[in-house]
Structure 1
Amino acid sequence: MGIMLAAGIAAPAMASDESFQQAFEAARAHQWDQINHDAIQGHVLEGYVEYHELKSRLPGVSPTVINDYLKRYRHSVLSEWMRGVAQDTWGARQQFDDFLAVSDGVPQGTTRQCWYYRALLDREPQRAAIGGRQLWLVGHSQPTACDPLFDRLRANGTIDGADIWSRLMLSWRAGEDAMARYLPDELPDSWQPQRSAFERLQGDPGRITELPGMIRQDTPGASSLYSAAMARLTRQDTAQALTAWGEIKSRAPLTDEQRHDIEHDLAFYSLVRDIDANAQWANAATAQLGDQDLFELKTRKALEHRQWHEVAAWIERMKPDERRDAHWQYWLGRAREQLGDADGARQAWQIAAGQRSFFGFAAADRLHQPYALENERITIAEKDMKDAANLPSMRRIAALYRIGEPGLARAEWYYLMRHLPKAQHPTLTQYALGQGWYDLTIYAAIRGDHWDALDWRFPQGYVDLFQKWGQQRNVDPWLLMALARRESSFNPQAQSPVGARGLMQLMPGTGQHVSQQLGVPWQGVTSLEEPETNVMLGSAYIRDMAARYSGNRVAAAAAYNAGPDRVDRWLADSDEPFDLFIEEIPFRETREYVQAVLTYRAIFEGLARGTTQGVHMMTEHERTTRYNGDLQR
């Protein structure tokens, strides 16, 4: 490992960060006369200025110049960006010789792929045909850049009537009705019988029972029409779909896989929609099909109705590997307990308790035994760590953090992790942890499949802040860490699609409201990216959520994710122990969120203590209280 890392060592840069920042800001603003190249020569980030210069000169730069840049920065995300910009520029201008000259295999992104295969039409027609058909055979619209490619492939017969029909069926099944309206006009005359049959079913898939009289079983495309029509009808009217299936099942020209998929969908929607008329058939089909998602659905339905015999029966039908999961072993134990089988319950819980998960920890609590963390400690040689520090990629990342460009630093890290052999991940992961790059450490641990390296997956990120504000707010600091780990993976600059920001992912409105409550001046949205400010406000918010529910952290965590109004309604409609309350949270995201946060808090505390003896996800009161409206103050 040491030899591999040392091979990439470069001499320390002499140019200052200040000089580089001035040049970088000028490059971003296209103020080329303000760039002092002599002042930044040798700086580890010099390629960022050159990237902006080359980008601005396109398309007036030769592929030779671009390829030279790509070679020099092949270990940086800059190469990926530069290649993409050049491809976009030359592809849009139909300069396909230049496009191919900088391409390295099939590019990322549908638009670039369409340009790529269009460029190959007269050079490698067979490859262009294969790639173009793959882009055609999807159930949604493609970018307009693909139209010339598709036109050529249809004109030369590569995309034929069968391909047009296949895309029509995919689109109709996917609910892309606009495509399903225009594609029939593209079918050749020889497909008129299929088109007529489709147009009868298009507005009313319930007419599928008439289909055997419309087209023969050996008609091309018949099986996909039956399959797509059943999919549409099942979602539209599941009861009618089952009746129709009973009429056509023996006559429909379907493969075994298509029949399985149809019956799976019928069973799934019958169960989800609680269609009484379909219940007996759905139960029998679920048992016969043997699909795990249907077994899980039946188990949850049985739990919902407290049918403990059914809970045990459906779990025991699962395949051994699926059944051994802590989730299902926990509920198997609960079912056996309710049925008076104490020994069987303990046996199931013992299997669950050996697993590091919410239900594994819940089972361990029932057995009064410590949680199984199974922490794998990976030791990295000191020499390898020193070599890692001198890698150009590590020096770039460190420099980007120094100049206040954490987003670019992460882009460099993600690129490195995607392209670096997994055997080399551990050294760089440990190095990132030592630098306090906590979110990069977590990303690398997961990317490298180091699921048991808990020091990497659950680093003690910003622990002093969480301890400080936990004490000041009288809030469990391990809960604060667990929330931040789930919300942002300890990325202070994290932003969600809806605008939540920072370590604890506070919405700006929430941050401003909590600031006013605390009498603290609101410093604006960007202040939420400052760890101190974010944890100060986030700890106050979760404290208020806990106070709303008599100090109960389970309900508080649910409210942090889904909002207190929803949790108020869930509690008002409930009167259950913690496990059933959590299992029946209507939103899957919130259900998984609560389980993860409680699990993470136990892991953080266990790692800090060096043992899980005496560590619990929940207090005794949280484990034994009834979850109902009485929790609300």
Structure 2
Amino acid sequence: MQVSAAASVKRIPVSFLVASFWLGVMSIAGIVQAQPTPSSPESELKRAQFTELEKQLGRASRKKVAALEDDVAALKDYPLYPYLLRQQIDQRMDMAHREDIESFLLNYHNQPFTYGLRGRWLRYLATHGEKKAFLANYRDGMGATITCQYLQYQLEDAGQPEYWLEKVEPIWLAGRSQPDECDPVFKKWQQAGMMTGDMVLGRIEKAALSGNPKLIPYLKRKLPAKEQYLADLWQRIRTSSSLVLKKSQFPLKNKETEGKILAYGLEKLAWRDAGDAIKAWYLWQPADVFTQQQQLDVTRAIALSLAIDDKPEADEWLKRADVSGAADDVKRWHMSYLLRHERWQDVLDLIAAAPEYVQQDEAYRYWQARSLEAMGLPEQAGIRYRELAQERNYYGFMASARVNEKPSLKHIATPRSDENMQMIAERPAAKRAQEFLALGRLIDARREWRYLVNSLDTSQVKDAALLASEWGWFDQAIISFTQSGFLDDVEKRFPMAYAEQFDDVGRAYDIQPAFAMAIARRESSFMVDAVSPAGARGLMQLMPGTAGYVAEKRVSTDELFDAGQNVQFGVQYLRYLMDKMGDNPVLVSASYNAGWRRVMEWLPAGGNVETDIWIETIPYKETRSYVKAVMAYRYIYEHQLGQSSGLFEQLAKSAIPPATGLSSPGGRAGGTYAPK
């Protein structure tokens, strides 16, 4: 978890940020998160006209589209006018309007309202046999269907087809079924002798690893008879990893491929039954079937599986796995295992032997200081704690508590350029984003904003972030600040979003607003229409079933996308978890992410475990990072709300009890979520 960084201006791709939240989004009519500009009767009239025209064009005949041309032209100065032009073009997709279509694509190159248009135009041209126009409009990266059609056209006239056939390989090597348009190209590729056995095996491997086993029987038929058993092995190992224990099933006639299958099966088996995986490991060692990377991968899986389950053999296997070239999480779990058993000298030795870049990581610096403290060397520990305490992150805050110092926030306001902000606000994409916000169409607004930010110079991204912040567009302000590299503006990166709602509901259910706001900040960055891959929705990312359970009624999607109601249900759920987990904020945070039943399984079996050690040994990486982030965010929001905070002092002095040691504070029965 990273809360801080030097105020550099390194640009971070939007794709990274969106992947780090793992959030999809839905557009819900009526959601208005931000009002960037005051409404006027004129602007409201134009929005109403645009909305009505958009509806009419969406269902209009060609004759009706022509009849609406004057109405569309009347909105020429309205920011969303290009979207109406796009609708006109969608309804006139034919060769008679080729010039209009291609001019639109040229003039508005890659702007959001053109998305999908080139592909639609190319599909039309292919369907109607307009080869020359198709080739003129094709661009790379259009997907398998269009690319295969393009290659098919090129191969029809190619004097030297080898050039075009070489482009088939990346299309072939996909772990999923490809469209029918690719079949003629694959056939010519095969006839040219380029569909080798290795190519077929490569695609079988991708199909197996990407979870598309139905493709394997089709590919098996393309292998020579003597190699078809390899397809069967891939198919079987997916459903039965214990196959690696049966030496007779692997004749090693194709050592390289069988080694891949065995390594894959061993990794799967290690997570299910590390003991059986160890047996299989020793079974295959004399055969020398594994590459160096495969050995690293398999020993990692065995070591981590043993460490997570705290098995006695974990010590030996962690030493085997923690070698040069190993994944970063091997050393982290090696340290966590030693911490769990309070082997402080071994922790120090492990860190001392690590590469310099590892030693400088805040986690290793904290645990180095912690080990020195545990070994009775407070002065050496204090030096390291105080140095780390200058950083704004979970470990910095923990270090502060260890030396009884106030955690450092180091807030630095982002330098402001009114000239740049005005320039950005006047850009067409910014105006379109404003209009979509006013219309409550948040997906469209974000799409325009991403296009805008990606078109700016790196130095101007922070001005866009400030602009979004002034608009009250919390999620895009947070994301844009991260892109800009200006991470020290604590007030803007941790906005007081929906603070009144969090305060009102928090009082009713005895939940500190700072805690609930920290959860919402981590869950969605205050994106009111956020949807996770699992289906969690809204500010506090609630599953519909969870919201319905605490509300004791069926909860609709619209309710979950309403900020006020989402806060209500989310805080109720926090109260429910607090009652389950003895008002322990660490256990509640972990439960919010991973589920309280799973967290109960992670509680100590015997005596208490110190809180920081328990957090460091949470089995799920996502939950470990989540808990650290929420604790740090909660402290920041306590500061933002002007509250005194003893949170990290509490974490530094407390311990996580066994399940039998949990109690419901105040005599509340578990599962009570009525207001106090």
Q: Calculate the TM-score normalised by the size of structure 1.
A: 0.82
Shift of 1:599: 1.2
SS in 1 for 2:79: coil
Shift of 1:98: 3.8
SS in 2 for 1:183: helix
The equivalent position to 1:562 in structure 2, one of 589, 594, 605, is 594
Q: Distance in 2 between matches of 1:209 and 1:313?
A: 44
Q: Distance in 2 between matches of 1:442 and 1:92?
A: 45
Per-residue CA deviations over 1:596-616 (Å, capped at 9, x if unaligned) read 11111223344565xx9x645
Q: Distance in 2 between matches of 1:494 and 1:52?
A: 27
1:554–1:15 Cα change, 3 Å: same
SS in 2 for 1:186: coil
| 1:159 corresponds to 2:195 | yes
The equivalent position to 1:45 in structure 2, one of 64, 80, 94, is 80
One-letter identity of the residue aligned with 1:551: D
1:547–1:193 Cα change, 3 Å: closer
SS in 1 for 2:221: helix
1:605–1:290 Cα change, 3 Å: same
| 1:540 corresponds to 2:572 | yes
1:194–1:536 Cα change, 3 Å: closer
Shift of 1:318: 2.5
One-letter identity of the residue aligned with 1:585: I
Contact 1:15 1:42 in 2 (8 A): no
Q: Distance in 2 between matches of 1:208 and 1:410?
A: 55
Q: Distance in 1 between matches of 2:551 and 2:234?
A: 59
Shift of 1:490: 1.0
| 1:591 corresponds to 2:630 | no
Contact 2:481 2:487 in 1 (8 A): yes
Q: Distance in 1 between matches of 2:617 and 2:508?
A: 34
Shift of 1:489: 1.1
| 1:259 corresponds to 2:291 | yes
| Match runs of 1:286-305 below 5 Å | 286-287=322-323, 289-305=325-341
The equivalent position to 2:50 in structure 1, one of 9, 12, 20, is 20
Per-residue CA deviations over 1:190-217 (Å, capped at 9, x if unaligned) read xx65556776898655577997x865xx
Which one is further off, 362-371 or 175-184? 175-184
Which one is further off, 231-240 or 151-160? 231-240
Q: Distance in 2 between matches of 1:276 and 1:548?
A: 31
Shift of 1:46: 1.6
Q: In the alignment, what sits opposite 1:5?
A: none
| Match runs of 1:509-588 below 5 Å | 509-515=545-551, 524-571=556-603, 573=605, 575-588=608-621
Q: Distance in 2 between matches of 1:199 and 1:403?
A: 55
Q: Distance in 1 between matches of 2:82 and 2:596?
A: 49
SS in 2 for 1:16: helix
The equivalent position to 2:286 in structure 1, one of 247, 269, 290, is 247
Q: Distance in 2 between matches of 1:381 and 1:397?
A: 21
The equivalent position to 2:304 in structure 1, one of 272, 285, 288, is 272
Q: In the alignment, what sits opposite 1:58?
A: 93
| Match runs of 1:173-192 below 5 Å | 177-187=213-223
One-letter identity of the residue aligned with 1:553: P
SS in 2 for 1:131: coil
Q: In the alignment, what sits opposite 2:265?
A: 232
Q: Distance in 2 between matches of 1:196 and 1:508?
A: 46
Contact 1:327 1:352 in 2 (8 A): no
Q: In the alignment, what sits opposite 1:79?
A: 114
Q: Distance in 2 between matches of 1:41 and 1:339?
A: 74
1:119–1:283 Cα change, 3 Å: farther
Q: Distance in 2 between matches of 1:376 and 1:110?
A: 48
One-letter identity of the residue aligned with 2:417: A
Q: Distance in 1 between matches of 2:220 and 2:490?
A: 55
Q: Distance in 1 between matches of 2:175 and 2:446?
A: 34
The equivalent position to 1:604 in structure 2, one of 637, 642, 654, is 637
One-letter identity of the residue aligned with 2:75: I
Gap regions ≥5 residues in structure 2: 1-41, 237-242, 270-275, 665-676
Contact 1:361 1:617 in 2 (8 A): no
Per-residue CA deviations over 1:112-145 (Å, capped at 9, x if unaligned) read 4444444544577566434321222344444444
Which one is further off, 15-24 or 369-378? 369-378
Shift of 1:541: 2.9
Which one is further off, 39-48 or 347-356? 347-356
| 1:480 corresponds to 2:516 | yes
One-letter identity of the residue aligned with 1:440: Q
Q: Tell me which of the two structures has the higher relative contact order, counting C-alpha pairs closer than 8 angstroms and 6 or more residues apart.
A: 2
The equivalent position to 2:657 in structure 1, one of 603, 627, 630, is 627
Shift of 1:51: 1.9
Which one is further off, 616-625 or 195-204? 195-204
**What percentage of residue pairs aligned between the two structures are identical?**
25
| 1:464 corresponds to 2:500 | yes
Q: In the alignment, what sits opposite 1:218?
A: none
One-letter identity of the residue aligned with 2:277: T
1:127–1:471 Cα change, 3 Å: farther
Shift of 1:554: 2.1
| 1:321 corresponds to 2:357 | yes
Q: Distance in 2 between matches of 1:541 and 1:210?
A: 51
Which one is further off, 273-282 or 468-477? 273-282
Q: In the alignment, what sits opposite 1:491?
A: 527
1:176–1:512 Cα change, 3 Å: closer
Shift of 1:476: 1.7
Contact 2:524 2:530 in 1 (8 A): yes
Q: Calculate the TM-score normalised by the size of structure 2.
A: 0.78
1:145–1:467 Cα change, 3 Å: farther
Contact 2:398 2:648 in 1 (8 A): no
SS in 2 for 1:287: coil
1:28–1:501 Cα change, 3 Å: farther
1:37–1:540 Cα change, 3 Å: same
Q: Distance in 2 between matches of 1:579 and 1:406?
A: 39
Per-residue CA deviations over 1:580-630 (Å, capped at 9, x if unaligned) read 232233333332222111111223344565xx9x64544637842543333
Q: How many residues align?
A: 598
SS in 2 for 1:445: helix
Contact 1:577 1:626 in 2 (8 A): yes
SS in 1 for 2:538: coil
Q: Distance in 1 between matches of 2:279 and 2:176?
A: 27
Shift of 1:59: 5.0
Shift of 1:436: 0.8
Q: Distance in 2 between matches of 1:93 and 1:239?
A: 60
Q: Distance in 2 between matches of 1:376 and 1:103?
A: 48
One-letter identity of the residue aligned with 1:371: P
The equivalent position to 2:438 in structure 1, one of 384, 391, 402, is 402
Per-residue CA deviations over 1:80-122 (Å, capped at 9, x if unaligned) read 2322433454456675544443334333x44444444445445
Q: Distance in 2 between matches of 1:50 and 1:398?
A: 19
Contact 2:318 2:330 in 1 (8 A): no
Which one is further off, 21-30 or 392-401? 21-30
Per-residue CA deviations over 1:380-404 (Å, capped at 9, x if unaligned) read 3222222222211111111111122
SS in 1 for 2:91: helix
Contact 1:140 1:176 in 2 (8 A): yes
1:248–1:444 Cα change, 3 Å: same
Gap regions ≥5 residues in structure 1: 1-11, 216-220, 253-257
One-letter identity of the residue aligned with 1:80: Y
RMSD between superposed Cα atoms in Å: 3.6
Q: Distance in 2 between matches of 1:199 and 1:552?
A: 51
1:241–1:341 Cα change, 3 Å: farther
1:332–1:383 Cα change, 3 Å: same
Contact 1:295 1:317 in 2 (8 A): no
Q: Distance in 2 between matches of 1:554 and 1:276?
A: 27
1:120–1:347 Cα change, 3 Å: farther
Q: In the alignment, what sits opposite 1:67?
A: 102
1:207–1:621 Cα change, 3 Å: closer
